[in-house]
Amino acid sequence: MLKKQAAIYGWLLLLPALVMLTAFTHLPALLTFWHSFFSTPRGKRSAKFIGLENYGVLLDDDIFWQVFWNNLWYAVGTIPISIALALIMAIWVNGKLPGRGFLRMAYFTPTVLPLIAVANIWMFFYTPGFGLIDQISGAFGFASHNWLGDPDTVLGAIIVVAIWKEAGFFMIFYLAALQTIPPTLGEAAALEGAGRWYFFRRVTFPLLMPTTLFVAINAMINSFRLVDHIFLMTEGGPDNSSSLLLFYIYENAFKFWDTSYAAVLTVVLLVILASVSIAQFIYMDRRVHYQ
């Protein structure tokens, strides 16, 4: 009887979260998948079941493939660098150094800045002729460059903004994990003559693997859900060179009002996120649990 009461009590505690998760995550995902098989209703013309026709349009959509590769390169450029910088910063501010609290605050500040403020700051940096980057490069004799207007540099410029904003956020998780490692491990390693790099490679980093798994999955999800910086800084241009999947979904849903095609794109995005997250978890699970 006590076990039954405890089970009921536990489910009652979980019920609010389950209701919110179902109502705002699982149910919308299922409805989106269902709507992807219908045409977009326009005016008095109601939606009609068209099967896989929208998915056929997707395969022949050159813009989608361009946006897909943009997003892939964006993920490759942001995920490893953001994680590496976060780990380096966490190790740096975890040590005994003067002004440690100020450094932690400085590294974390970009994370808490409003998105509009971040976009405006970096648009000032990238403004051709008057921006901070051109002012500095011009002092060394380099020509002015339109970083956000050049198809060859616009995606790299967006990647820099994302790394600057995300690395400090991931640093907090690494810093918290570092502070849980007992100092006695370092003292024992020093007595055995182990160097700092050897201790980090054999002790510190393996103990940080659960945090690395968590950070890697979040970094991957973040790399596929960027829309605000694109909307404010480039609007996907020039010529879709900086457009990413979520921004392309936004354009189709709210700019072109093609909600059915946006549903198809959303399904593809969800499949990509789920597949990569599961692959990351399976690949890193052995290293996390030392199997």
176-232 pLDDT, tens digit each: 999 998 888 877 878 777 788 888 888 888 889 889 988 998 999 899 988 888 988
pLDDT band at 87 (very low <50, low <70, confident <90, very high): very high
- pLDDT value at position 144? 85
Residue 8 lies in a domain: no
pLDDT, average across residues 79-96: 92
Residue 34 lies in a domain: no
- Domain extent at residue 197: 56-288
Residue 222 lies in a domain: yes
- pLDDT value at position 71? 95
Q: What is the pLDDT of residues 8-32, one digit of tens each?
A: 888 889 899 999 989 988 898 899 9
pLDDT, average across residues 135-140: 86
Cis, bond preceding 206 (omega within 30 deg of 0) = no
- pLDDT value at position 198? 85
Residue 48 lies in a domain: no
Residue 208 lies in a domain: yes
Write out the two tokens for 85.
């910088």
Cβ neighbors of 77 (< 8 A, separation 6 or more) are: 155, 156, 159, 163
> What CATH number corresponds to the domain at position 67?
1.10.3720.10
Length of the chain: 291
H-only helix segments in 179-204: 183-191, 196-199
Assess whether pLDDT exceeds 90 at residue 68. yes
Residue 24 lies in a domain: no
Q: How does DSSP classify residue 122?
A: H
pLDDT, average across residues 28-50: 88
Average predicted confidence (pLDDT) for the chain: 88
- The count of domains in the chain is 1
pLDDT band at 161 (very low <50, low <70, confident <90, very high): very high
Assess whether pLDDT exceeds 60 at residue 158. yes
CA max distance for the chain: 81
Instruction: Please state the φ and ψ torsions of residue 42, each to the nearest 5 degrees.
Output: -135, 120
pLDDT, average across residues 78-99: 90
Best CA proximity match to 219, nearest among 119, 117, 81, 106: 81
Residue 81 lies in a domain: yes
How far is the C-alpha of 25 from the C-alpha of 143, rounded, in Å?
49
Assess whether pLDDT exceeds 70 at residue 286. no
pLDDT, average across residues 127-145: 86
Burial of 140 (0-12, 13-18, 19+ CB in 10 A): exposed
How far is the C-alpha of 125 from the C-alpha of 146, rounded, in Å?
11
Out of 48-52, 140-144, 167-171, 277-281, least confident range? 277-281
How far is the C-alpha of 169 from the C-alpha of 109, rounded, in Å?
9
